Amino acid sequence: MSIVAALGIGFCFGWLLEKAGLARYDRVVNVFRFRDFTVLKLLLSALVVGSVGVQASLALGFSRSVPVPATFLAGNFVGGLIFGVGMALSGFCPGTIAAGIGEGRLDYLIAGSLGLVAGAWIFGALYPRLFPLLARGAHTAATISQWCGVDPWLIVVLLAELAGIACYAAERARRVANRGPNRDA
Amino acid sequence: MPVVESAVAKGRRANDSMWRWLLAGAVALFAYGLAASAQAQCGVPTSSCRDCHESRAAGLFVAAERWHADHALGDFCSNCHGGSPTTADEGAHAGLADPLANEGERCRICHANRPRIFDSYLALARPPRAPGSAAGSPVLAYDPRPTARASTHLAGTQPNSGRSRNAICLAAIVVIGLLAAAYIAACERGAGVLQSRLRAVFRRSEWSAYACGALLGVVVTVSMTVFGRRLSGSGAYQELAGPLARGLSPSSTYWTQVIRPSEHWNSVVLAGAVAGSAMAAILGGRFRIRWLPDSQWTDVFGASIARRWSLAGLGAALTAVGGGIAGGCTASLALSGGAALSPGAFAFMAGMFAAGIPTARLLYGKYSR
């Protein structure tokens, strides 16, 4: 049962990443070069729909709880920095690499997978030293709404508003520059 | 196929497609209900402790005490407190234990070779002894029931009856909405046109980023709420690295307690993602075995396979280390965490762009296409 569910979720995940073109090197790198905002648009629209879905599911009582990743702001940020360097170098992240493998890309399948396994092993070896440092920064609130002490729906609406502005700005920048994502594979 | 159809035949076809839509809606609802009920049985979530106590209560247990702060970023509640971390209902509290009983016995699960850690915790937990009282083992007041503070925070949760009423109401909304959409679509366009359009959509090589994003949001919601799992790419590779790392260092706490040998969910999701992408690529005509990226890379870095593969491997390793430090990747932290409104998700995204933009600029130099 849970294997079927995991396969189904993965299938949709991979399907959507491929259809959005995120299995391409240039797509992912060009978001950092302000040439192609597909990654940003996909991420923001998924965030908006996902946060509405999660809050609706909690409010309607379909699920009692959701898994919230731990917040330790300095660690999250520094980890993000290293992650960003890796993403700009390789042109994929651990999710889109699966989409790239599905498209038949051998650099993703062999070099990327080996690199990820090696990286995971390195982090495991560093873990005993890093853990106490990271633990010092643990945050008291699990979610932004708890942090600010406001209703989660207000944060959801705020997020949607900011995402809308960012997407509008991205579309406008593309129109102005007129050299956007028109180089298809 | 006759171009002109009689009004009766048209009506019958519209009716047919309406029933098909209705059936699809009912199947989807049934599947959702099945999955939701299976959640409690399979106990899929890694730890229900954090889920209930942190996402429902106001961060009560993180950083309240030193040992909580020290362990806050892992999912270790049950290592110290016992209980049943795979149960999502009241049964989760079965088998709770005093974390500091028997001179830190439970601490030894992870810290066997560092006795000073649990000695310091034991010292912190020891109540100040009244002068002159008999020396003996310290008695710890340990009450597993939620405190008064916790119950005020948890008061927002709804009782069961309201929940099921909400579920029925939402089901009605979904069914009526689907019915209306199917009816209108069938009347306006005709079922044949609808079907061929749908087929064309599935064969189109690229979908709009917004459509993909919105659907991905639905996938994230289902993964998070029905199965209690964050959607993850890096988690799969941590699981895949597990056997190798356990072979190299069998006593490592990280590879036995944090990345547990029994965990396979993320690897299965990854396998599904490869299959889904392959299916999409084949239908869209984009599947091809290739050694290098199709465009842009060779313009800037040349056609050397060795160069691409070494930089891709290095980048991949950096994303794995960075993702480990941050506590997730683009999918599991930025997307799933962001959907749950975790502050860490946005700190991660800020870091990702703050480093990615200068790195890309450095790599590309004057290249401006």
pLDDT value at residue B133: 43
DSSP string, chain A: -HHHHHHHHHHHHHHHHHHTTTTSHHHHHHTTTTS--HHHHHHHHHHHHHHHHHHHHHHTTS-S--------HHHHHHHHHHHHHHHHHHS--TTHHHHHHHTTBHIIIIIIHHHHHHHHHHHHHHHHHHHHHHHHT--S-SSHHHHHTS-HHHHHHHHHHHHHHHHHHHHHHHHHH--SS----
3-state secondary structure B274-327: HHHHHHHHHHCCCCCCECCCCCCHHHHHCCCHHHHHHHHHHHHHHHHHHHHHHC
Mean pLDDT of B111-130: 68
Q: Higher pLDDT residue, B227 or B57? A: B227
Q: Give the pLDDT mean for A46-60.
A: 92
| Confidence at residue B64, expressed as pLDDT on a 0 to 100 scale | 54
Confidence band for B34, pLDDT divided at 50, 70 and 90: low
In this predicted complex, what is the ipTM? 0.93
Those residues whose C-beta lies under 8 Å from the C-beta of residue B342, and which sit 6 or more positions away, are A68, A69, A71, A142, A143, A144, B333
The predicted pLDDT at position B82 comes to 79
Express as a percent the part of chain B with pLDDT over 70: 69
By the 8 A CB rule, do A121 and B294 touch? no
pLDDT above 80 for B63: no
- Which pLDDT band, with edges at 50, 70 and 90, does A67 fall under? confident
Q: What is the per-residue pLDDT for B33?
A: 59
Q: Which residue has the higher pLDDT, A44 or B114?
A: A44
Structure tokens at A13: 């995940």
Tokens of A71: 């917040």
- The residue among B368, B202, B252 whose CA lies nearest residue B299 is B368
State how far residue A150 is from chain B, nearest Cα, in angstroms. Answer: 11
Report the pLDDT averaged over residues A40-57: 94
Of A10, A85, A92, the CB nearest to B269: A10
Region B80-102: what's the mean pLDDT? 75
The 10 Å CB-count burial string (b at 16+, else e) for A59-94 is: ebbbbbbbbbbbbbbebbbbbbbbbbbbbbbbbbbb
- The full length of chain A comes to 185
Q: How confident is the model at residue B208 (pLDDT cuts 50, 70, 90)?
A: very high
Q: How confident is the model at residue B7 (pLDDT cuts 50, 70, 90)?
A: low
Confidence of residue B17 (pLDDT cuts 50, 70, 90): low
Which pLDDT value is given to residue A160? 95
- pLDDT one-digit tens code per residue, B211-250: 999 999 999 999 998 888 899 989 999 999 999 899 988 8
DSSP code at position B227: S
The yes-or-no verdict on residue B49 having pLDDT over 60 is yes
CA distance A43 to B331: 9
Mean pLDDT, rounded, for B175-184 = 88
B174 in contact with chain A, both atoms CB, cutoff 8 A: no
Return the pLDDT at B30: 62
Query: Above pLDDT 70, what percent of chain A?
Result: 94
Say what the pLDDT of residue A62 is. 79
Is B281 in Cβ contact with A103 (below 8 Å)? yes
Q: pLDDT: is B302 or B353 the higher one?
A: B353
Q: Which of B25-34, B38-47, B138-147, B318-327 has the highest mean pLDDT?
A: B318-327
Which pLDDT score, from 0 to 100, does residue B18 have?
66
**Range among A66-80, B7-21, B186-200 with highest mean pLDDT value:** A66-80
- Distance, in angstroms, between B160 CA and closest chain A CA? 8
For the CA atoms of A124, A129, A130, A136, the dihedral, rounded to the nearest 10 degrees, stands at: 140
Residue-level pLDDT at B142: 38
Please state the domain extents for chain B: 48-124+142-157, 204-289, 293-369
Size of interface A-B (CB pairs under 8 A): 633
pLDDT at A147 exceeding the cut of 80: yes
**Does residue A178 surpass a pLDDT of 70?**
no
A154 touches chain B (CB under 8 A): no
**Mean pLDDT, range A166-181, rounded to an integer:** 78
Residue B154: its pLDDT value, please? 34
Give B69's pLDDT tier (boundaries 50, 70, 90): low
Structure tokens that stand for B260 in this block: 């547990």
Are residues B363 and A112, on separate chains, in Cβ contact within 8 Å? no
Assigned token pair, A22: 């995120």
Instruction: Tell me the mean pLDDT in the region B277-301.
Output: 90
First-last CA distance in chain A: 38
Q: Which of residues 30-69 of A touch B (CB under 8 A)?
A: 30-33, 35, 37-38, 41-54, 57-58, 60-69
Does residue B168 have a pLDDT over 90? no
**Res. B79: pLDDT tops 60:** yes
Token pair 């007041």 is at which residue? B141
Residue with tokens 């800037």: B300
Contact: B312, A89; criterion CB under 8 Å: yes
Instruction: Please check the confidence at residue A37 and state whether its pLDDT lies above 50.
Output: yes
Residues of chain A numbered 65-124 and touching chain B (CB < 8 Å): 65-73, 75-108, 110-124
Pick the residue with more confidence: B39 or B254? B254
Tell me what the pLDDT averaged over chain B comes to. 76
Chosen for mutation from A30, A35, A47, A58 (greatest number of chain B CBs closer than 10 Å) is: A47
Q: What is the pLDDT of residue B182?
A: 83
Q: How far is A52 from chain B (nearest CA, A)?
A: 8
CA distance, residue A177 to nearest chain B CA (Å): 11
